Structure 1
Amino acid sequence: MTKLSVNINKIATLRNARGGDIPNVVEAAQKIESFGGQGITVHPRPDERHITYKDVRDLAPLLKTEFNIEGNPIAKFINLVLEVKPAQVTLVPDAEDAITSNAGWDTVKNKEFLQDVIKEFKQHGIRTSIFVDPDEEMVKAALETGTDRIELYTESYAVAYANSDKKGVEPYNRCAELAHTLGLGINAGHDLSLDNIHYFQKKVPHLDEVSIGHALIAEALYLGLEDTIKKYRDLLN
């Protein structure tokens, strides 16, 4: 079974646009869990332009499903993760001014850095995942970092699928097979949607978890949050 983790950054973006506390991030996360979401993902950035560090601290003791915190492992982020101790931390090499994540780690060049960070998280019992492009060399080198899982960056698949190019899934299939052979868990995320998720899950084996935020929250504007989560769960299973 592929689990659905819902990224709630966009709910925080909507709240922050007006100020105040509507919509309430914690209430939204709890609703998502009650509607069938199997995890909550947040990606706090240094400028806290959507999810804030306070949100992370508020969410941690109240969630009943897996909590996944994404981010670039700068000192402030590392300290937050070690304080909160989520089920999973996903390391993403995004620049501080990036609008959204736009590349995976070069696990060859950054191997020693990632080894040090991952070792610290694992000493505290936190499962680690690292964001990688669908490149078999990056997957092989990811094993040497000590990570538990990889998260495949799926933007190129989504673009290809939107252009009716079904071959865009093939690198993901190969990387997933390789990662599984190496003993790595496999997550995926970025631009996955109701339109393209079923084909991806059907073609990419051994998929443990997908993390979906922007598309899911946008689709929920038309379909409702509960029905949207149910549709994702149905497509994934």
Structure 2
Amino acid sequence: MTWTQLPLGPIQTNAYILNNSKGDALIFDPGGDADTLLQWLQDKQITPLAILLTHAHFDHIGAVDAVRDAYSIPVYLHKNEENWLEDPELNRSTAFLGRTKVTARPAEKILHGEQSLQIGSFSCNVLETPGHSPGSVSFYFENEGIVFSGDALFASSIGRTDLPGGNHQQLLESIHSKLMDLPEETIVACGHGPTTTILREMDSNPFLNAL
């Protein structure tokens, strides 16, 4: 398996593509610039099997419908945010973008709690990591040694919690109980900025070491 980070959309949110040697792939958080993403997939001869959303803020969903329609694939989203895709107030595009409203059709696959997912040859564990938003999840691929954490954990930082549905203490608890329990060498594929590792954040993240 290989993975690629592509910053997309109005605030350069990291989309990730995890693909196998056959060219099958999963897409995480396609935040915008649909034409760029679709052209990249075509150039690399990669065929996505599903879109997995860590959460449904506007900057993570801008290219969802375009990619979903191009490949006739399902979208996965936690139940606590199942209404956010259609609602620009809930996904915060109204607040941040004004007249430019970001929406998408409802997700085909609703995640109810923590579970294991098997999509084609891809296998992962869904970890509930709320705090940045009520339906935030992280997708942990044990065999690949990587977790797609969305906006829960960043390199030397954590997700903001001042948006509706955010909760600072809940986010810290999510990070400590779910992400910090992963193997230290696990790569953290963050929603913004560079990737990091569990060990690096365990040792140097000021938000986590202040406790």
Give 1 or 2: higher strand fraction.
2
Greater relative contact order (Cα < 8 A, sep 6+): 1
Give 1 or 2: higher helix fraction.
1
TM-score category, normalised to shorter length:
0.3 to 0.5
- The normalised TM-score by structure 2 is 0.35
In terms of Rg, which structure is larger?
1
